[in-house]
Amino acid sequence: MIEYSFAIWMVLFFIVAFSFWLESYTKIGQSIGATLLCVIFGMILTNTHCITFKSAVYDTVFSTITYLAIVWLLLTVHFKTIFQVGPRLLLMFFVACGCTVLGAVIAFLFLGSHLPGVGEKLAGVLTGTYTGGSLNFVGVSDALQFPASLFSAAATADNIITAIWIAFSLALPRLLRRWYKVSDSKLDNSSIYVGGDSDSDGISFSSVVSVFDCCVLVSVGFAVLLVSEWVHGMIPGVPKVIWLSTFSLLLAQVTFFQSIKGAFLFGTIGLHLFFVVIGIGSRFSEIVGSGWIICLFTALVVGIHGVSLLGIGKLMKWPLDSLLVASQAAIGGSSTAMGIAVTKKWYSLSTPGLLIGLVGYAVGNYLGIGVAFLLTKFFS
């Protein structure tokens, strides 16, 4: 059994690297995705007793690396650039977020009794991830103290249902062309600058990350953690992740920090280290018992999101291409929205899809925590 700290760090980074290699170069890896692969490999190691179940390394990932990842990923959200996509697509995205909130509330009302004390937290976590992305899944989970024993089940359900919704989104233009206008958007994104640190997968970059960039990112990350910890100590009623999100988003609007490269890369690595550790902390016996209800809960959230968004889109006479890209920006995140646009040859929506997905990073933590708070206050 692997117990030595340096060996554990080696294993964690190897799993992240191997997961992204599988996602990039194999069909099964592309189907599963690096995030879920990290969870799966972690679960395999711990359930076969190949690695220790408890270690100070895991505590470091939870208490420091994860928070740094949130800071770094939020540093990529530049509001000035995002607003260039135009008001209609932004409106569609916010309506999509509202449909996610509606789905989370209805799922809680129908299934919350099967998850006593956890249902409202699950609704909040799914609201966060289905208006933002994995960053918000992690941030809201931490703020709400979502049970670690259920995290892997929730992450697995999230990935499965997201994949199903992507498949539906690819098929819907053909199925619904009699009822919806399916047309390439006339939005011109040729003048929209995304930045050198915003490749759709967050892994490869068009320019080299310098030593200066790396040092600035690390120092800024710890500075935000320090200030957030201090403010949280003064105002303990507000979750620390809210302060992290707020200070990170404010810094992201400063021109100097927008020129720093590597934030998405650093954040992606940190976030996936977290998912490996979550897998390591998961026992199969704990997941099987509640896995089906969590999967059903997740499916209901996304299903209501899809049906209500398509209904509103029909009433508003919105084109289906823009509607589906906005939906994927909420459910799957930036890279999924861009991927849908490119796959369906809606090229004018590719960059705007990426950008509105970044809006989700900005609002997901607030929405997720807000939904959980309201459900707890009025229904628990």
pLDDT score of 309 more than 70: yes
What average pLDDT does this structure show over 89-114? 95
Task: Dihedral sign for Cα 85, 91, 95, 97, please.
Answer: positive
Q: Provide the CB-side half-sphere exposure for 263 (13 A, CA).
A: 27
Residue-range definition of the domain harbouring residue 218:
77-180+194-270+284-379
Q: Please tell me the total count of domains within the chain.
A: 1
Compute the distance between CA of residue 79 and CA of residue 95 in angstroms, rounded to an integer. Answer: 18
Is residue 133 domain-resident? yes
In a domain, 10, yes or no: no
| Residue 196: pLDDT over 70 | no
Model confidence at 184, pLDDT cuts 50, 70, 90, reads very low
Note whether residue 11 is domain-resident: no
Per-residue model confidence (pLDDT) at position 128? 95
Cβ(322)–Cβ(92) below 8 Å:
yes
Which of 320, 330, 333, 316 has its CA nearest to residue 268? 333
Most confident region among 127-131, 185-189, 201-205, 348-352 by mean pLDDT? 127-131
In this prediction, residue 218 carries a pLDDT of 95
Classify residue 288: in a domain, yes or no. yes
Whether residue 105 is contained in a domain is answered as yes
Q: What is the pLDDT of residues 16-68, one digit of tens each?
A: 999 999 989 998 888 788 887 888 898 889 888 899 888 999 989 988 998 89
327, 170 Cβ separation under 8 angstroms = no
Query: Looking at the domain assignment, is residue 5 inside a domain?
Result: no
Q: Is residue 185 part of a domain?
A: no
What is the mean predicted confidence (pLDDT) over 133-158? 87
Transcribe 135-160 into DSSP letters.
HHHHHHHHHHT--HHHHHHHHHHHHH
pLDDT band at 358 (very low <50, low <70, confident <90, very high): confident
In a domain, 206, yes or no: yes
